[in-house]
Amino acid sequence: MVVIFVPKESAAGETRVAAVPETVKGMLKLGLSVQVERGAGAAAGFSDGDYEAAGASLVDAAARSGADMVLGVQTPAADLCKQQKPGSLLVCTLMPGMSLPSIKALRDGKVSAAGLEFMPRITRAQKMDILSSQATCGGYQAVLLAAVHLPKMFPLMMTAAGTITPARVLVLGAGVAGLQAISTARKLGAIVEANDIRPAVKEQVESLGGKFVDTGTPPEAETKGGYARETSEEFAKKQREILTSHITQADVLITTALIPGKKAPVLVTAEMRKGMKPGSVIVDMAAGAGGNVEGSVAGQRVVVDGVTILGDTNLPAQVAADASRMYARNVLAFLGEFVKAGEVKFDLQNEILNAVTIVHDGQVRHEPTAKSLAAQGS
């Protein structure tokens, strides 16, 4: 029987887990044997007893070496990758460009690795889309985090002590994270504006109660997969000029712009930020990819000119229970793509498997990563 191993995440601050009791039951229905490391789900609110009741076996960390598949959230460190047996499969958020030692260990150990962040944007793969599920969690948490640090309340309040005006929130980037941020901020009673270079999202922003800030549309604003493209410096300059007045009026600014495989674009310069009121809050959701805001620091909270800039790099981990549920359901759907009645048919002719498989049979299939390793002489 094919053995699945679900480890306790080793990355600092990572509280999510790649399988929850609900999806353990689903894996058993696929004909798989499931082993869960003791304490793997504790930080997300899932006890060892919950996993046992679902049908999983509780094991120690050493069980990784005997598993046919390892399911993770973040890329394991190289020493953990070396523990997997040849021919086994690692399924996680791989981030190969930032995990070269781990990729090398997987390649040299002839361990296959699927990076779920490379899931193709096709209808069949929607239920496997970890980027969307985790962005939903991140967009929600970004607003709550801003609300905690903002020295005023979000909604309009008519009280005996007078009227409290609503907070003004500006969201830059109206993808999944941005749309969830808009929705959450509106539910908390804020006045919300949003901007995106893709004109198609205007209707979505307005349907959630936000006002769309139109800065024009550059040529080829989005990829075939629906992601925003990197813009020219000329367009970026025009965009900044229009956005500046909206930024200075905002109590909360949330930035979500990411370019797959590249450094995040700078949307807010230090000069633009200087116009914000003291006490204002910025949540830079792209801080871990270089940042959309000049002055943001990945993983840190800084205060510049009276403005709090939050650079949290793992917002989904702050709502670990539901983020884990969503991620685990994505993983289960992915397993169902190639596991039938307990048999694994990992065929790279399959469009989904071909897109997400980064390492296979001793080869790095992701060209930019292969080039980076070659440049290091690895």
pLDDT tens per residue, range 265-324: 999 999 999 999 999 999 999 999 999 999 999 999 999 999 999 999 999 999 999 999
Instruction: Say whether both 291 and 152 belong to one domain.
Output: yes
Instruction: Say whether both 179 and 279 belong to one domain.
Output: yes
Report the Cα–Cα distance between both ends of the chain, in Å, rounded: 35
Instruction: Say whether both 19 and 48 belong to one domain.
Output: yes
Q: Which of 47, 57, 124, 126 is catalytic?
A: 126
Instruction: Say whether both 7 and 79 belong to one domain.
Output: yes
Instruction: Say whether both 328 and 302 belong to one domain.
Output: no
Residue 64 sits in a domain of what CATH number? 3.40.50.720
What are the residues whose beta carbons fall under 8 Å from the beta carbon of 86, sequence distance 6 or more?
109, 110, 111
Q: Which of 99, 132, 239, 296 is catalytic?
A: 132
Instruction: Please compute the mean of the pLDDT values over residues 202-229 and round it to a whole number.
Output: 80
133 in any annotated domain: no
pLDDT at position 156 is 96
Written as one letter, the residue type at 62 is: A
Instruction: Say whether both 143 and 286 belong to one domain.
Output: yes
Two structure tokens written together for 261: 């495989």
Is 121 an annotated catalytic residue?
A: yes
**pTM (two decimals):** 0.93
Considering 313, 341, 362, which residue would you say is the last residue of a domain?
313
Estimate to the nearest angstrom the gap between the alpha carbon of 27 and the chain centroid. 24
Is 227 an annotated catalytic residue?
A: yes
69-93 per-residue burial string, b: 16 or more CB within 10 A, e: under 16: bbbbbbbbebebbbbbeeebbbbbb
pLDDT of 223 over the 70 cut? no
22 in any annotated domain: yes
Instruction: Say whether both 172 and 41 belong to one domain.
Output: no
pLDDT of 51 over the 70 cut? yes
Q: Work out how many domains the chain is built from and give that number.
A: 2
Span 52-76, pLDDT tens digits: 999 999 999 999 999 999 999 999 9
Q: Which of 10, 38, 108, 227 is catalytic?
A: 227
Q: Which of 83, 102, 129, 141 is catalytic?
A: 129
Q: Which of 10, 65, 68, 121 is catalytic?
A: 121
Instruction: Say whether both 293 and 244 belong to one domain.
Output: yes
Instruction: Say whether both 216 and 283 belong to one domain.
Output: yes
Instruction: Say whether both 223 and 296 belong to one domain.
Output: yes
Is 318 an annotated catalytic residue?
A: no
Is 16 an annotated catalytic residue?
A: no
Instruction: Say whether both 285 and 175 belong to one domain.
Output: yes
pLDDT at position 234 is 81
Instruction: Say whether both 192 and 215 belong to one domain.
Output: yes
Is 126 an annotated catalytic residue?
A: yes
Two structure tokens written together for 147: 């609300």
Considering 278, 298, 313, which residue would you say is the last residue of a domain?
313
Q: Domain range for residue 76?
A: 3-128+320-375
